[in-house]
Structures are given as C-alpha cells and as structure tokens.
Amino acid sequence: MKIAVCVSGGGTNLQAIIDKIESGEIHNTEIAVVISNNKNAYALERAAKAGIEGVCISPKDYASRDEFNKAFLEKLDSYNVDLVVLAGFLVVIPPEMIRKYRNKIINIHPSLIPSFCGTGYYGLKVHEGVLERGVKVTGATCHFVDEGTDTGPIILQKAVEVLEGDTPEILQRRVMEQAEWIIMPKAIDLIASGKVSVVDGIAHISEN
C-alpha cells in the first residue's frame, strides 16, 4: 500500500509511522510522499532523512483557495496513493478531495471524539479545553475524514489519564506518546492488511 502523509509542523506522528514501517510493525506499506503546506516544517527534514520525497504546497502561493485546492489535489493524484494520512495537517481538506478519496483519508485527533473536537479544537487548544473542563481521562482518536470537522468514522481510540499538575504542553506530550504514536501506525497497518471496512458510516475492524 502506498500512502501520502500530510503534515504542517514538526512531524512527530510522521516519525512514528516511518519508524514502525522500518521496524515491520506496519506491514506492506510505503510512504510515497510527504506533503506540507509549510516549507519550514521540520517534517520535511524528517522525510529527507528517511529518503522520502517531500513537497511543499502552500495556499500562500496561490491567488485563491480554489487554485490551491486544485493544485494540491493534482499533486496528490500524481502519486497514485491508496491512503492519505493527515498527521497534524492544519489545512482544510477540499470537499472534492474528500469525495475522490472517500474512506481513504485518515486523521489523528488528540482527544476522545466526540469530546473536545470540531471547529476550533486543534493543537494545544484541545488540551487546554480538557484541563479547563477538569476531565480525568482524555486520549486520541484515529478516524476517516468526511465533510465535517472530526466527524468521520472512528477507527481506533486510546485513553490517556489526565494527571494533577498537567499543563497543556505536558498533556499534549503524554497523549502523543501514549496514544497518537501508537494508534495511528496501528490504523495504517490494519488498513494495509485489509481489515478495516466502513458500513453505514461506521468503521469495522475484522480480526481475521
């Protein structure tokens, strides 16, 4: 299975995927391209170090969002990937891309959806919301992408404890280490192994 990984920043989830492909924990999968909207994203350096092609396509370089969306989709199409992985990608996915890659785009979100998700909940804002609400358990969710924000079929979730004295930064790191870097590679492996199907908007995982 060929995948594209889209990322805007440091690329820690990308690194987890690269490492687990190399270790064999993710089976029959290769990263065809890493796409970033930010030419300074450290994720592009991670890709280069791993010998993976990295490209930057930024909305800033196009006169309109429509032109950017068209260029982005054309670039993505050129790699003929089986799955698109959003690993901290802070760009709104064009509707035509969601239609074309129905149930072939997955995202990682740093909370237990449906809590602390949707418009405005991204990055540290998620963890700030968790701490402000005083919940005792948070986590991460890997899900397919549909037209809504964080509303697509859920593939995997993993809970993480919220501890006394947590700051948003400390909690963000724990959620990455204990949940995101585990369930995102696992979801990719399940999809590569043909074990994930979506029926009536629900993702099902088969054991065989």
Rg (CA), the chain: 16
Q: Report d(CA 114, CA 111) in Å as an integer.
A: 8
User: What backbone phi and psi angles, to 5 degrees, belong to 169?
Assistant: -70, -40
Element holding 15 (H helix, E strand): helix 12-22
109 is catalytic: yes
The secondary structure of 150-173 as a DSSP string is S-SPEEEEEEEE--TT--HHHHHH
Element holding 2 (H helix, E strand): strand 2-6
Q: What angle do CA 95, 100, 101 make, to 5 degrees?
A: 95
Tell me which amino acid residue 55 is.
Answer: V
Catalytic residue among 109, 127, 143, 204: 109
- In this structure, are residues 77 and 94 in contact, taking their beta carbons and an 8 Å threshold? no
**137-144 and 105-109 beta bridge pairing:** antiparallel
Q: Report d(CA 146, CA 137) in Å as an integer.
A: 26
> Which are the catalytic amino acids?
109
